[in-house]
């Protein structure tokens, strides 16, 4: 579904990602794991076309490398960005409405909003509340639901567990597991290797802008211990 070949991402003179290659098959959950500064967000930003990159990104059979952000969303890519970036002053429901702003199928869009508010009852109970009044975990749920409002073929999650208490982290990973069970293809970017590996079919370990290991949770063995050491999250 998603194929990335020799991706290089630079921020001005600083090269953050030095030519990485990875793939996400349809219906799978694949993790990109790495410590702070590894190049995870740079990679996600390049996939969405928010930052310039070189290399080849093919998605759903088409080369999207040179497409603008809107076209990539149209093609079926969506992201729940690092730090959630919800609209704090808008209600939960309004955030979801904005998530579907690129869609013109009004009735189906309304049905999707109802669907996600029902799927995640905490959001349903708070539908008219300003999103800024939600807890961190609830805001993350909203950010993910908002990303789903475009009906993506692939959902990119940039550190969904960042800054959340362990109990809430478990809830977020349960939510991701439910989405996976619904057949949504997921690229999960995380520092929390242990939790992410649990629900991933395959994982890549990123360090200093390079993939240093890849495999399943069974085959990664020592490498996942290394990752735990690098991130400080056991």
Ligand X SMILES: Nc1ncnc2c1ncn2[C@@H]1O[C@H](COP(=O)(O)OP(=O)(O)O)[C@@H](O)[C@H]1O
**Which three-class secondary structure state does DSSP give residue 66?**
coil
- For the CB of residue 194, give the shortest distance to ligand X in the complex, in Å: 17
Cβ neighbours of 21 (radius 10 Å): 14
Q: Which does 36 bind (CB under 5 to 8 A by kind): ligand X, Mg ion, none?
A: ligand X
- Interaction between residue 41 and Mg ion (CB under 5 A): yes
Residue 39 contact partner, candidates ligand X, Mg ion, none, CB within 5 to 8 A by sort of partner? ligand X
**The two three-digit tokens of residue 140, written as one number:** 């993350």
Task: Name the binder of 72 from Mg ion, ligand X, none, CB < 5-8 A by kind.
Answer: none
40 vs 109, beta carbon nearer ligand X = 40
Angle, helix 106-119 to helix 136-148, in steps of 10 degrees: 150
Span near Mg ion by CB under 5 A; candidates 1-9, 77-85, 115-123, 162-170: 77-85
Distance between CA atoms of 3 and 62, rounded to whole angstroms?
10
Nearer to ligand X, 12 or 183 (CB): 12
Q: Provide the 10 A C-beta neighbour count for residue 58.
A: 15
The site for ligand X (CB under 6 A) is made up of 11, 14, 16, 34, 36-42
DSSP-assigned letter for residue 27: T
SS3 content of the chain, % helix, strand, coil (to 5): 40, 25, 30
Residue nearest to Mg ion (CB): 41
Judged by beta carbon, residue 34 or residue 100, the one nearer Mg ion is 34
State in angstroms the smallest separation of the CB of 3 from ligand X: 20
Q: Which is nearer to ligand X, 170 or 208 (CB)?
A: 208
96 vs 157, which CB is nearer to Mg ion?
Answer: 157
Do β-strands 210-215 and 202-207 pair in parallel, antiparallel, or remain unpaired?
antiparallel
DSSP 165: -
CB of 23 to ligand X, least distance (A): 19
Q: Is the dihedral of CA 205, 211, 215, 220 positive or negative?
A: negative
User: Given the rule CB under 5 A, which residues bind Mg ion?
Assistant: 40-41, 82
């Amino acid at each position: 579904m998603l194929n990335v070949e020799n991706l290089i991402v630079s921020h001005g003179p600083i090269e953050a990602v030095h030519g990485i290659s990875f793939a996400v098959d349809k219906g799978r959950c694949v993790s990109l794991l790495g410590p702070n500064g590894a190049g995870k967000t740079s990679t996600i930003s390049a996939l969405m076309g928010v930052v310039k990159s070189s290399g080849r990104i093919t998605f759903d059979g088409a080369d999207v490398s040179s497409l603008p952000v809107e076209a990539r969303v149209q093609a079926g890519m969506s992201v729940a960005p690092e730090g959630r970036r919800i609209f704090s002053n808008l209600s939960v429901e309004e955030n979801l409405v904005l998530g579907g702003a690129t869609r013109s199928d009004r009735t189906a869009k309304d049905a999707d909003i109802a669907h996600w508010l029902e799927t995640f009852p905490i959001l349903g109970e708070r539908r008219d509340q300003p999103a800024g009044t939600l807890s961190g975990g609830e805001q993350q749920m909203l950010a993910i639901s908002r990303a789903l409002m475009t009906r993506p073929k692939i959902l990119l999650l940039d550190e969904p567990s960042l800054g959340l208490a362990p109990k809430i982290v478990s809830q977020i990973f349960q939510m991701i597991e439910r989405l996976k069970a619904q057949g949504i293809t997921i690229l999960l970017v995380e520092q929390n290797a242990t939790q992410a590996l649990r629900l991933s079919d395959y994982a890549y370990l990123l360090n200093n802008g390079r993939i240093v290991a890849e495999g399943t949770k069974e085959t990664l063995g020592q490498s996942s211990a290394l990752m735990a050491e690098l991130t400080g999250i056991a």
